[in-house]
Each structure stands twice: as C-alpha cells, then as structure tokens.
Amino acid sequence: MGVLRVVVTGASSGIGAATVRAFRAAGWDVVGVARREDRLRELAEETGASVFTADLTRQEDVDALRDHLEATGPVHALVNNAGGAKGLDSVEHGSIEDWIWMLDVNVIALKRVTSALLPVLRRGAVERGVADIVNVTSVAGHEPYVGGAGYNAAKFAAHALTAVLRLELNGEPLRVVEVAPGMVRTDEFALVRFGGDRERADKVYDDVPEPLVADDVAAVIADAVLKPRHVDLDLIVVRPVAQAAATRLARGPLEVRKDPE
C-alpha cells in the first residue's frame, strides 16, 4: 500500500489548517479544500499538502473536487470540517439569511461532500482495510443554549446526519466519527459569528483559563483516524477543563476548593 491520503475541508484556517498539519506530520498525503486560494497556497508551501479551491455550497465545485480526487488516486479519510456560526439571535428574531447560511455550510455542504466522495473512500477502504469519515460538529449539536438558535439547529442536524450515516454504512469497512468541540479559540470562528467585530469576538474568551486551540482538536481527529482499523470512536466531545457544559464556563484561575461540598 502506498502513502495514505486524507481530504480536509475548511482547510484555510483554524481547525482545518491544524488538521492538515497534523496529518502531514503523521506522513499522510493531504488535500486541503477551502474557498480562499491565497490561504491554501500558503498552507501548501508550509506543509507540502496538496490543495483544491472549492466553495462547498456549490454542487459544481464539489463535483470538480470529486473528479480531481478520482483522477489522482484513492482517498483513505475525509475530514468534514467546514462550517461556521453567525449571530446570537433568538429563534423569533434570527435573520433568515443567517439561518440559511448556517444550514448550507454546516449541513447541506456536509451532505454534498460525503455523497460525492463515498465512492472514492470505498476504493481507499479496499486498499487500506478501512476508510474514515470524520465530521467536525460542536457541543452546540448536543446542548441547546440561549443564543444558539440557528447554530444549534444546524449542528444538531449535522449530528443526526452523522448518526444516520453510521447506520447506513454498517457492514462496510467505513468508520464514521463525530468530533464535537467545545470552546476553541481560533482566529476566525467568533469573528465570523459577530460580523467582524474583533472586540466582541475577543470578549468570548476573556479570563477563560486555557480554552482549546485548533491544534488540540486536530490531534483528536488524527488520533481517531490512526486507531487500529477495528476501533471506531463514534463520538468524541472535547472541551477545555474550564468548560463543564455549553452554558457552564469558569472564568479566572482554576483552583482546588478548600472545602468541597
């Protein structure tokens, strides 16, 4: 068997870029996929990864990605990482345009890519003995919270899609893994959510002792794929120690209680 190959979506920044680095460090060939060609070029120069520019909300771009991969060999793993949030509005007052965007990038794009690449992944499974689909969701897909609304709806849908896909693929050597991060401090997630308001985005992380960073999540993703082929980590929830739940976040130093109750 030759070098193993993984496709990583949302590769131009944050968890996606960190995942590209993690797999390259493990000796894998990587195809990083994102919309921003300039960011992808920088990542390719840094890591030696291959890159493919695509907007995953456009079927023609996903079809072109599939054709490129089919022409260049099998794929042994797919990391569906592309996604994002917009706003903290309620169900009543949330922007329909924001909801459509969140459902498109977090759910419909996930379905498009998975459907298109399953035949290529099956070829990889024959060669390697197993192939992996890793869907990066969020604790927002498991715990509703005030201010979640559209993002909760999208990530709950992505969680359900992942669970159904695992049932559909039962009997094939295809592992379906869900990685659901909690608070992760990246350059862009909160910035996109708050429409480019840097001050508001930075306040999300104020006084939080050691929120996760992209490398932490990337290490979890790579570890799941590198497990022995009979081991399937169905669902991995990863949070900083300071975050007990989506709505339970410690701020300030973590200290042992003198008189724990």
Catalytic center residues: 151
Q: Which of 106, 112, 108 is nearest to 154 (CA)?
A: 106
Contact 47, 20 (CB under 8 A): yes
Alpha-carbon distance of 85 to 103, in angstroms, equals: 10
Q: Which of 139, 56, 62 is nearest to 101 (CA)?
A: 56
Q: Where are the beta strands (DSSP E) in the chain?
A: 5-9, 29-34, 50-53, 77-80, 131-136, 174-181, 184-185, 212-213, 235-238, 243-245, 248-249
Q: Which amino acid, one-letter code, is at 30?
A: V
CA distances from 258 to 208, 249, 255, 261 (A): 21, 20, 9, 10
Q: Which amino acid, one-letter code, is at 227?
A: K
Contacts of 34 by beta carbon, 8 Å cutoff, 6+ apart: 9, 10, 11, 12, 13, 16, 40, 51, 53, 54, 82
Contacts of 228 by beta carbon, 8 Å cutoff, 6+ apart: none
